[in-house]
Structure 1
Amino acid sequence: MSIEKNMATEKIIIIDYGAGNIQSIKFALERLGYDGVLSHDAEEIRSADKVIFPGVGEASSAMKKLNSTGLDKLIPQLTQPVLGICLGMQLMCNHSEEGDTAGLGIFDVDVIHFEKTLKVPHIGWNRIKDLKTDLFQGIVENEFVYLVHSFYAPLCADTIAKCDYGVNYSSALKKDNFYGVQFHPEKSSSAGEKILENFLKLDLRS
């Protein structure tokens, strides 16, 4: 099957749980030739070829929305490639200091606040390094990406990219079929677009 045919037929679900930044993700997918469908329906999410778990906001209130819809139980059970973005990635971790929030427990790491000596949120362009896995195929070391966050995941066994903001931390995580990026690929120019494209094509390389 050609890449073009997969692009036309792949079912890509963006999980709808009231998180912000949905439209910019949809537009980024459209630029790549894909159609992202916003949904909170369990069966539709399960049947997707790819799932994107976005997030802009506060951890405890976002987790309450997931709990109220049963998405907190569904997401860890998914078997297709799943990409958590920003808060989405943080909610896939064990726990967040933001609102003392229990996460989904996919990535075995706790999310913590930057040191008080640092200006937060960490906002703007920063470099990513020590890139691992096909998610970063074609991305050079120290490429710039766009970030907005006050909490971070420390380095751990699931780290596949690092960023430095007073401390080296996880700018991307992977465990099994689950991927997470702290940065916003949909706002990270051509590098972010390439990372999104790599995620959407993961099964084509398997």
Structure 2
Amino acid sequence: MLLVEDDRETADMLADLFTAEGYRVDVALDGHRGLHLGLSRRHQVVVLDRMLPGIDGVDLVTRLRRVGVTTRVLMLTALGELPDRVLGLDSGADDYLVKPFEVDELLARVRALHRRDLAGAELLPLGSGQLDLRRREACLADGARVQLSMREFTLLHTLAADPKSVHDRSRLRKRVFPDTSAESIVDTYVHYLRRKLGRDVIRTVHGLGYQMGTL
């Protein structure tokens, strides 16, 4: 689970609560840290506040959805008016709970999102294998499953969703790594994917960029 909450006392209380329920919890105290963790690590559920320093909750969810992060999101906030709830859900959140809240209801809503995550696996063809869009894993032809980091998954998903196109580094950098201006990061993550899945998983088109290869 990823918990994004700028009030440290509330964040500590919620982290203890979720940990006691058996979740492994990453905590971010501002929107920038929350975005970094959401892009770089795998989570089943995100619980976040609306009013965050740096990047607010609506913008954070919008950015995650824009790059293909499908993790279930619960907004937990004091902003409870109808326009606030509509904006939160329209930004890409799956659920919206207003503070103050009942602990039992919060835990029930998180469990419901977790069940939806486990039941909602989608598979994208990946050569002789498949890409599990919900669990963010590469499923090899022999049945083996390879876990991917969030950025590895997003890069591979971008290529696999349009396998015939050649994707230039600039476009890949803007889509997959919006928080950095260094296009060399694309080459770094291509290397990581090849190391995990084989040299042929991504094809280099010299002078143009990268194209989906064969798994």
Range of TM-score over shorter length: 0.3 to 0.5
Find the structure with the greater CA-based Rg. Answer: 2
TM-score (norm 1): 0.40
Q: Could you say which structure has the higher helix fraction?
A: 2
Structure number with higher relative contact order (C-alpha < 8 Å, ≥ 6 residues apart): 1
Q: Could you say which structure has the higher strand fraction?
A: 1
